[in-house]
């Protein structure tokens, strides 16, 4: 049995209520992801995602009928597609709710995302589900209709407080309080519905594709500098428009994003310890080693050599383990 088959089997058992919790770890070619889930009621599930990769396949497409998916982003950034072929993006403190699972995969622009998902699968409801929802005056039909076309935006202070409380109970593994907080969130989303975010918070599928193509060109070789103007001309779009699309997808302007990306790459090379500081600077697009060191220190509060030494010491400590008292 493959890892994917094992995960699908565990997910099916979780949805069927045969297990109250779900925990899955997947090592991927470009990162990893960890999923932790709690069974709330028959047909209602809470999942916490810790994503460290850029693309994750959507294994829930078969559940697309009468399903409401509510996403709350704690950290990172995620792309969601709506029924009208638009793409919108949520970041820390934002929520997305949709009754239509239209995407075959989830895209995480920064290859990092931490957040919660509440799944509502009406087909899996039992009499117990309807009874408890009724006790809380929650109507699944109202929620499905209200968020049929999707909605996204920053959560209110009141709702944010509930999400934070849920996060605390989640860390404590207090399933009773977790169930209560999930019901409170559903009640609030029903009584205080979100509306669609402003039009300028969305991109068409074609615009999002252009931003991703630009990202691919920019990050293919970090030692090289290529202007947005040149990329825009090659893609047949104006420089101003391409910059706007890029910022929408990646949450930062091109210059700021590339500076961060180069510094992240520098930390990886420094941790490996195989290249000289001069060669690392060149690999990250810096001709001047002094300039590289200055920018690195601004980002991480230490010189590249000091960072390398710290990482080397961490490796040695990890291999040798705690000092024995002999």
Question: Strands 151-154, 86-91: parallel, antiparallel or unpaired by DSSP?
Answer: unpaired
- Neighbouring C-beta atoms of residue 8, cutoff 10 Å: 14
User: C-alpha 159: how far from its chain's center?
Assistant: 20
pLDDT of residue 323: 53
Tell me the whole-structure pTM to 2 decimals.
Answer: 0.82
Handedness of CA 266, 267, 270, 272 (dihedral sign): negative
pLDDT of residue 326: 44
pLDDT of residue 7: 59
pLDDT of residue 14: 74
Report all structural domains of the chain as residue ranges with CATH numbers, in order of start: 3-197 (2.60.120.10), 204-320 (1.10.10.60)
Q: Rounded to an integer, what distance in angstroms lies between the CA atom of residue 229 and that of residue 226?
A: 8
**pLDDT per position as a tens digit, 152-204:** 777 788 888 999 999 999 999 999 999 999 999 999 999 987 655 444 568 99
Angle at CA of residue 275, ends 270 and 281, nearest 5°: 70
Structure-block tokens of residue 17 = 């209520």
Range 254-292 burial, b when 16+ CB lie within 10 A, else e? beebbbebbbebbbebbeeeeeebeebbbbbbbeebeeb
Q: Rounded to an integer, what distance in angstroms lies between the CA atom of residue 62 and that of residue 70?
A: 17
pLDDT of residue 256: 96
pLDDT of residue 97: 86
Residue ranges of the chain with pLDDT lower than 50?
Answer: 197-199, 325-326
pLDDT of residue 17: 67
């Amino acid at each position: 049995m493959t890892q994917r088959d094992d995960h699908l089997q565990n997910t099916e058992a979780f949805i069927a209520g045969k297990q109250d919790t779900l925990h899955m770890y997947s090592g991927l070619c470009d990162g990893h992801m960890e999923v932790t889930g709690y069974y709330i009621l028959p047909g209602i599930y809470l999942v916490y995602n810790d994503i460290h990769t850029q693309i994750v396949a959507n294994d829930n497409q078969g559940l697309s009928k009468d399903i409401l998916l509510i996403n709350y982003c704690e950290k990172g950034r995620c792309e969601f597609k709506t029924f009208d072929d638009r793409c919108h993006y949520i970041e820390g403190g934002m929520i997305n709710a949709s009754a239509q699972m239209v995407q075959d995969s989830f895209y995480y622009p920064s290859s990092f995302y931490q957040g919660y998902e509440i799944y509502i699968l009406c087909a899996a409801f039992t009499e117990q589900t309807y009874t408890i929802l009724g006790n809380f005056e929650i109507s699944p039909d109202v929620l499905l209709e209200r968020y049929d076309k999707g909605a996204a935006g920053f959560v209110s202070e009141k709702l944010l407080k509930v999400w934070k409380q849920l996060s605390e109970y989640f860390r404590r593994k207090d399933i009773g309080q977790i169930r209560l907080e999930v019901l409170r969130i559903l009640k609030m989303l029903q009584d205080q519905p979100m509306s669609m975010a402003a039009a300028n918070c969305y991109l068409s599928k074609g615009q999002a594709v252009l931003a991703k193509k630009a990202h691919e060109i920019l990050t293919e070789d970090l030692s090289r500098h290529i202007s947005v103007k040149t990329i825009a001309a090659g893609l047949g779009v104006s420089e101003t428009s391409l910059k706007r699309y890029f910022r929408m997808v990646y949450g930062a302007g091109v210059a700021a994003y590339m500076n961060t990306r180069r510094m992240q790459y520098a930390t990886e090379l420094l941790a490996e310890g195989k290249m000289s500081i001069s060669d690392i600077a060149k690999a990250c697009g810096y001709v001047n080693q002094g300039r590289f060191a200055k920018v690195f220190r601004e980002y991480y509060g230490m010189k590249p050599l000091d960072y390398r030494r710290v990482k080397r010491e961490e490796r040695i400590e990890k291999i040798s383990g705690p000092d024995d008292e002999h």
